[in-house]
Amino acid sequence: MKRKLKFFTYGFYIGTILLACGLVASMIVENVTMKILLILIPLAIYWFFLIGKSIIEDKIKNEK
Q: How many CB atoms lie within 10 A of CB 8?
A: 21
55 band by pLDDT with thresholds 50, 70 and 90: very high
Q: Name every residue whose Cβ is closer than 8 Å to that of residue 43 and which is 6 or more positions away in sequence.
A: 19, 22
The pTM of the full predicted model, rounded to 2 decimals, is 0.84
Looking at residue 41, its pLDDT comes to: 95
Q: In the predicted model, what is the mean pLDDT of residues 19-48?
A: 94
In this prediction, residue 2 carries a pLDDT of 82
pLDDT on residue 63? 85
